[in-house]
Amino acid sequence: MKNFWKKLTLIMSLVILTLPLFTSTVQADSNSTFDLSANAGMAFDENTGQIIYSKNADKKVAIGSITKIVTLYLVTKALKEKQFTQQDTLAPTQEQADMTEDSELTNVRLDTDKSYTVEELYKAAWIVSSNSAAMMLADKVSGSQKKFVKLMRKTLKDWGIKDAEIYNVSGLNNSDLKPDMYLGAKDGENKLSTNDIGVIVKHVLDQFPEILKTTSIAKFEFPYENETKTYDSLNLLLKGNRDYQAGYEFDGLKTGTTNQAGESFVGTLPMNGTRIVTIVMGASGEKSDVDKRFRSAQKLAQDVKDNYEHKETLKKGQKIKIHKKEYKINQPVYVWVPKNSNVENLSYNESSNDLGFTATHKKQTVKLIAANTASGYLPFKKADVKKVIHKKTSQKSWWDPIVDFFNNLIKRLF
């Protein structure tokens, strides 16, 4: 019995001594104690998916108009697939036009007796978050908003996001909408986790980086009555807007605001030869403080810039061993690490998802990833590339009634 307890004590001691070897991450001499003033948030490298800072990343929260990132991704995709063109014109329904007279729900005026180009509506939805513009574009893609919501849900599932709560195309609470504008409960509201939003943004910017040409516009013109009116972007961090700070050149991406969501913001900016995405969900502070989400995003970007460096950790052609297997690195590898940290403490593994850098092992190309960074990587999964077939809307052209008339006339005569 004594030998048994001696052996058990020895085993437990070994476990305790070796535990740090399995849990260690690259630590820094940095004194960063940053805590984001928000319910949840994140900073990550858009190119590699590496998470640099994370807070409550798995917590599902209301997202408001951040919903439109998914909506406008699908509109962009439909444009690329030549379902329609930017110069096609659309007219709002009476319900969509009526919503634009409610200052709580929108900020560009739409009239039923006027038509607007897809390009105008696309800019209005991205830059000033027009709900009715997003709805009109969704109708154009899928024929109805309910069908479009189903397309949104399918897209997120294809990206590995299984538990998304998506009920409408705008991000409003369903209680603010008419029954044909949403799926689900009358008080339903779109919800995602910060991890989900990160995966979405990476997909969107990987596929369509040109979206930033639109989201970086600080002012744009939109038809108003018989003239045009100039609108300011809701992103106050853009150059020329009041919260802009030199050295932090934000060029996107989307604001979100509802009573349940609070004030949120997904931002992005180039930094150290790559691109950083900042996510602030439910910014903390007084309700009257309309700049708090932007200050939080700035502070998050500043923390990354001040306390981390984008460092080359492996060189092209370098050989490393992982579990006795030898790999040859195919390109220079860069990782965000805390300043003053020793990159030799980084370890690597074969990637378990679609992120990582390529290496060769026995003539086989594999993906590797840094295994012990402090915050890890996004749960990113590439979707199967399948062309989505959009059903044509039932809208008739001016020629259709004439054709119908002559078809009916011929039937009567013969």
Q: pLDDT per residue over 140-166, tens digit each?
A: 999 999 999 999 999 999 999 999 999
Catalytic residue (choose from 54, 77, 129, 130)? 129
Query: Which residues does the annotation place in the binding site?
Result: 254
Please list the pLDDT of the chain residue by residue as tens digits (414 residues): 555 555 545 445 444 444 443 444 555 444 468 999 999 999 999 999 999 999 999 999 999 999 999 999 999 999 999 999 999 999 999 999 999 998 777 689 999 999 999 999 999 999 999 999 999 999 999 999 999 999 999 999 999 999 999 999 999 999 999 999 999 999 999 999 999 999 999 999 999 999 999 999 999 999 998 899 999 999 999 999 999 999 999 999 999 998 988 999 999 999 999 999 999 999 999 989 999 999 999 999 999 999 999 999 999 999 999 999 999 999 999 999 999 999 999 999 999 999 999 999 999 999 999 999 989 999 998 875 444 444 444 444 445 555 455 555 544 444
* 386 noted as active-site residue: no
3-state class of 135 per DSSP? helix
Let me know: does 56 contact 134? Beta carbons within 8 Å. no
Angle, alpha carbons 329-333-339 (nearest 5°)? 140
Q: Which of 54, 55, 65, 202 is catalytic?
A: 65
Q: Which residue reads 């699908």 in tokens?
A: 74
Question: 405: how many CB neighbours lie within 10 A of its CB?
Answer: 10
Dist. CA 194–CA 192, nearest whole Å: 7
379: nearest Cα among 192, 161, 229? 161
- In the numeric block, which tokens belong to residue 294? 């932007």
282: left (phi over 0), alpha (psi -120 to 50) or beta: left
Q: How far is CA 385 from the centre of its chain?
A: 19
pLDDT digits (tens, 9 = 90+) for 2-59: 555 555 454 454 444 444 434 445 554 444 689 999 999 999 999 999 999 999 999 9
State the binding site for substrate.
254
Tell me which H or E stretch contains 364: strand 364-370
Q: Report the amino acid identity of residue 191.
A: K
The terminus-to-terminus CA distance of the chain in angstroms comes to 107
Placement of tokens 């979707």 in the chain:
383
Strand order, beta sheet including 252-258 = 51-55, 38-45, 274-283, 262-271, 252-258
Which residue is it, tokens 């339903």?
188
What are the φ/ψ torsions at residue 118 (nearest 5 degrees)?
-55, -40
Active site residue 59: no
Are 193 and 161 a contacting pair, CB within 8 Å?
Answer: no
| CA dist., res. 294 & res. 263, Å (int) | 10
- CA–CA distance, 155 with 137 (Å, rounded to integer): 17
CB atoms within 10 A of CB 23: 7
Nearest-angstrom CA–CA distance, 345 and 364: 26
Q: Can you give 233-265 as a three-state secondary structure string?
A: CCCCCCCCCCCCECCECCCEEEEEEECCCEEEE
φ and ψ at residue 126, rounded to 5 degrees: -75, -50
Residue 68 appears among annotated catalytic residues:
yes
* pTM of the model as a whole: 0.86
Domains detected in the chain: 38-308 (3.40.710.10)
Residue 385 CB partners (closer than 8 Å, separation 6+): none
Length in residues, the chain: 414
Name the nearest CA neighbour of 159 among 351, 352, 353: 353
